[in-house]
Structures are given as structure tokens and as C-alpha cells.
Amino acid sequence: MISPAAQPPLPVPFGVSEYTTGPATFEQDLSLFRELGIQNIEVCEGKLAAADPRPQIEQLQATGMKVTSVQPRLHSLFPDGPRPLPAPPAERMSRVAETCKLFGQYFPGTTLVTISGAAPNGDYRLAYQTAAHEYRKAASVAEQHGVRLALEPLNPILMNVDTFVCSLAHARRLIETVDHPAFGLFLDVWHVWEDAAAPEEIATLAGRIFGVHVNDWHTPRAFGDRAIPGQGEIPLLKLLQAIRGTGYAGAYTLEIFSELKLPGSLWADPRKTISESKAAFENLWSQVCA
């Protein structure tokens, strides 16, 4: 029998979102991720050919990487800053349904990430009612195609631009209202870290966390301006311990937004950004598991 001390360490559950590489192409991402030994990938559908993405998806499938999550080409219920059209929520969610169908064929079990978009005319009551109705329908479609749907609450600095769901408590309210096994939470530490109740809220969402984004916060110089884990202000160890304490066993996916015009842009050298982030996460993970 192998003694506990001689057992090989568990693999670090680290993944990378294609948002982290900024303007790099899908093919460039695959090449870089394979070179760096990345096993878990979050696919950005916007990097795939709109006319026929299947050859690229099959290319990804051949790499053996695990698609832990997908960012749909259009991923908000209501219009957001980057994607104001089409406006009707039902039409927007029909686009999400198409993404469910596409990725369910190739990567069953993966999670599609969505955000709420801005409340129309500031009517939050209508926004919640519409969201509950549309997400319940969308979750049923996702389940039919063997995938899951997750809502990502955003930092309040994006309120009235990209979201009306700005806290874990608000996200939990909607998840509980929808009450569907294929609908849960995507938790991004950058969006929730300033909430003093975050660890307690995370505990209440045990079993409903479908994915996690990791990164770090420094006072942003633009909408896209995040930091490498451990190089900012987020109490990552405390949050990661809370997430692991729920029984979550999925990937922790690096999602770095930046802008090339910014001094020291993390998109300028994605190889360096991913390598440094992977090393930082491995160090954090060893402390989380200690």
C-alpha cells in the first residue's frame, strides 16, 4: 500500500478563460494553453467563426482539454454595454439556447456563463420577474442539451451598464426563485470581494456554485483592468477557503480583463500573465488545502 506521504498530489484545479488573452485568436489560444500545460479552458464563443464554428470546436476537442465553461457570444438577459442588440430578453435567450445546443453536442456537462444586463428603465421589479421567467425556460433548454446555465453577479461599478444583479445575495434570490437544477451561480472574486458578507453568502450557495473566476483587484483605470492573483487587494485565501468549504470541486478559472492601451497591460504578454497567475494560484491552493 502506498503511504499517504508517498501519494501523488492532487492536480491543481486551475483553468484559463479566453478573455485572459485579449485579442489573441482562438487558434493562438489553443497553441498557448497547450504549451503552458493548461488542462481547463473557458471558451469565448465570440472567438469562434460565426458562420460555422464546428471545425474549431472539433480542433479543441482533439486537444483533450476540458471545457469547464463557455462565454456565449451574447450572454446577457437584458442589453449590456458591449451588446445592446437585440433588445427583447426572449430573443436574447434564444441565442443562448443555440449556444446550449452547440456545446452540448461536443462538451456535455459544461456551464454557460450569463449576466443579467441592465434593468430596463431602472425597473428592478420587472427585471427580476422577467429574469425568473426567462432563466427558468433557458435552464430547461440547457438541461435538455446536457449543459448548465450560471448567473454571474457583477461588481456594483457596473450597475445600470451591464447588470442589475450586483451581489451574491441578489444572485441567490434569483437562483432560489428559478429553482431549477441546471441554473446556478458563477462566482467571480473580483465582483464580490468587497461584500463583507461574501464568505457567509458563499456558504449558503453550497451545491449551486457552477464555476469560479479568479483574478485580483487594484483600483481600475478602465472597465477592463484586473490584476494577477496575489498582486492586488482581494483576500483570496479567505474567499477560496469559503468556496472549497461548500464542496465545490470544479475549476478555478483565470479571467483577466485588460486593455492594450494601459501601461503594463496584462493582455500585452498573455504567456507571462498566465504563467505568473498559474504559479500564484498554485501557491494559494497549497495554503487553501493545508
CA distance 68 to 39: 10
Q: What is the number of domains present in the chain?
A: 1
**CATH number, residue 179:** 3.20.20.150
Give residue 10's pLDDT: 59
Give residue 274's pLDDT: 98
User: What pLDDT tens digit does each residue of the chain (290 aa) get?
Assistant: 334 444 444 578 999 999 999 999 999 999 999 999 999 999 999 999 999 999 999 999 999 999 999 999 999 999 999 999 999 999 999 999 999 999 999 999 999 999 999 999 999 999 999 999 999 999 999 999 999 999 999 999 999 999 999 999 999 999 999 999 999 999 999 999 999 999 999 999 999 999 999 999 999 999 999 999 999 999 999 999 999 999 999 999 999 999 999 999 999 999 999 999 999 999 999 999 98
DSSP 107: S
Residue 236 lies in a domain: yes
Q: What is the CB neighbour count within 10 angstroms for residue 122?
A: 10
Strand (E) or helix (H) holding 252? strand 252-254
Nearest to 19 by CA among 75, 59, 63, 58: 75
* Torsion-angle region of 117 (φ positive above 0: left; ψ -120 to 50: alpha; else: beta): left
Residue 2 lies in a domain: no
In the chain, the N- to C-terminal Cα span, in Å, equals 24
Cell triple for 15: 483553468
Query: For 90-116, what is each residue's pLDDT tens digit?
Result: 999 999 999 999 999 999 999 999 999
Give residue 47's pLDDT: 98
DSSP letter for each residue of 1-12:
---GGGSPPPPP
Query: What is the three-class DSSP state of 89?
Result: helix
Nearest to 13 by CA among 289, 226, 276: 289
Residue 4 lies in a domain: no
Residue 40 lies in a domain: yes
Residue 208 lies in a domain: yes
CA distance 98 to 113: 14
Domain extent at residue 98: 11-288
Place of cell 449551486: 208
Residue 56 contacts by C-beta under 8 Å, 6 or more apart in sequence? 26, 27, 48, 49
Cell triple for 273: 500573465
DSSP 37: T
Contact by Cβ (8 Å): 29, 47: yes
DSSP 216: B
Cell triple for 19: 478573455
Residue 16 lies in a domain: yes
Give residue 2's pLDDT: 38
CA distance 221 to 225: 6
Contact by Cβ (8 Å): 284, 232: no
Residue 5 lies in a domain: no
Residue 1 lies in a domain: no
Give residue 12's pLDDT: 86
* pTM (two decimals): 0.95
Angle (deg, nearest 10), helices 26-35 and 54-63: 0
